[in-house]
Amino acid sequence: MIVRRALTAFLIVLLAACQSGYQTTQNRQRSSVKPAKAPAQSAPKTDGAGSVTVQAGDTVFGIAFRAGLNYRDVAAWNGIEEPYTIQVGQKLRLSPPSASIGAKAPKTIPVLPNQKTVLSKTVPAGEPVPVKPATPVLSNIAWQWPAKGEIIGRYIAGDKTNQGINIAGGNGQDIAAAADGTVVYSGAGLIGYGELLIIKHSNEWISAYAHNSKRLVAEGVRVKAGQHIAEMGQTGSVRTMLHFEIRRNGKPVDPLLYLPKP
């Protein structure tokens, strides 16, 4: 009788231990399984350009130049017609209306399990990233050198601090128009450029002349290639030089691809 009672008590303890172990295992399995994350919501995408408030001395050409945009696009996005008159305090958008915040984000296409994913080739750390040589767009502009002197700075694609070339020279040295055109900006309102001139050569092409000590032509004046338009200086610069840019549709290009071989 005593043996039977002892055996019964042993079985009860054993069953309780098994049940406890089973529950512990279940709890461990539950804790190791992370809850599935909710699908990420795509934020509306814009070009990040925003808008700008017109300040005294601003022009459509100057604002477009500063933003790296084509002046015709800026005018069209804001409903401004020639002669592109703007008012101090006026807010101008620097992106097309369709890029406004709140636009629906494009739908993403899910990748199915049986689809192959192609990975892009990476470059090991420390190795230079290969850059494809620039192919100049044909220009019908007869470009000329704007000044004589040593080239001390060259254009670097994508580098906002090297969007043209720097030509060293003496204070007061003649600066000439690089091609026929109309002066569309003459002022010192663009930070980093000092006394600046911008010449429009066509609806597609413009040129810029920065850090002048003196500007000799006003906005609206028609100039000829080689005409004396400014004097070299160091306004907005650490040394006397001409910073010269050529832009196509508002985007900087390498001037050395268009200027005659020295």
3-24 residue pLDDT tens: 455 545 544 444 444 444 444 4
pLDDT score of 134: 55
pLDDT digits 0-9 by tens, 212-233: 999 999 999 999 999 999 999 9
Averaged pLDDT score across all residues of the chain: 78
Which residue in the block uniquely carries the two structure tokens 């054993």?
Answer: 14
What residues are paired with 223 via a beta bridge? 181
CB–CB of 63/95 below 8 Å? no
Helices (H) and strands (E) in the chain, counts: 3, 12
Nearest to 161 by CA among 191, 185, 132, 136: 191
* Residue 199 contacts residue 183 (beta carbons within 8 Å): yes
- Return the domain boundaries, the chain: 51-98, 151-257
Measured between alpha carbons, how far is 233 from 212 in angstroms, rounded to an integer? 5
Give the dihedral sign, CA 120/124/125/126.
negative
pLDDT confidence band for 29 (50 / 70 / 90): very low
Q: What is the pLDDT at residue 112? A: 44
CATH number 1.10.10.10 given to 51-98 = no
Is 39 buried (19+), middle (13-18) or exposed (0-12) by CB count in 10 A?
exposed
pLDDT of 87-107, one tens digit each?
999 999 999 987 554 444 444
Give pTM, 2 decimals.
0.65
* Residue 98 phi, psi (nearest 5): -65, -15
- Alpha-carbon span 251 to 205, nearest angstrom: 9
**Residue 262's pLDDT band (cuts 50, 70, 90):** confident
Range 151-257 has CATH code 2.70.70.10: yes
